[in-house]
Amino acid sequence: MATRSHIGKRLDDGKIQYVYCHFDGYPSHNGAILTEHYTTEDKITNLLNLGHMSQLDSEVSHCKAYNESYYVGDYGDFLDGNVSYYYLFENNEWLCFDYTGEQIIF
């Protein structure tokens, strides 16, 4: 069974650019990869520009992406995805929220 997640970053206009990731969304996997390997705006932008994906990897080139599309929306859109975890890069740090929208420290 998949542990789905959204991965996104806050844009200058306050909106969020984000993608859907189908597998391994739990903090000990996707959260760890994001905090250890996606720590600059450039890397995060390159990741999000891949589009929706089945699996995140520590290298952008190894991520299994479906297409080059992504979402841009407000915070409510970001948290409305029927996924288990939400990862948001904001103020130079990764934040994680569970399916209820409660922040998780990881």
Domains in the chain: boundaries:
5-104
Residue 1: pLDDT over 70: no
Question: Whole-model pTM?
Answer: 0.95
What values do phi and psi take at 90, rounded to 5?
-150, 135
pLDDT in tens, 3-42: 999 999 999 999 999 999 999 999 999 999 999 999 999 9
Residue with tokens 């909106």: 15
What span, in angstroms and rounded, lies between the C-alpha atoms of 53 and 102? 24
Q: Backbone phi, then psi, for 49, in 5-degree steps?
A: -70, -15
Task: For residues 51-76, give the mean pLDDT.
Answer: 94
40 — phi, psi (to 5°)? -125, 155
What is the band of 106 on the pLDDT scale with cuts at 50, 70, 90?
A: confident
Alpha helices, DSSP H, located in 1-106: 32-37, 41-50, 75-78
Q: Kindly tell me if the per-residue pLDDT of 87 is higher than 80.
A: yes
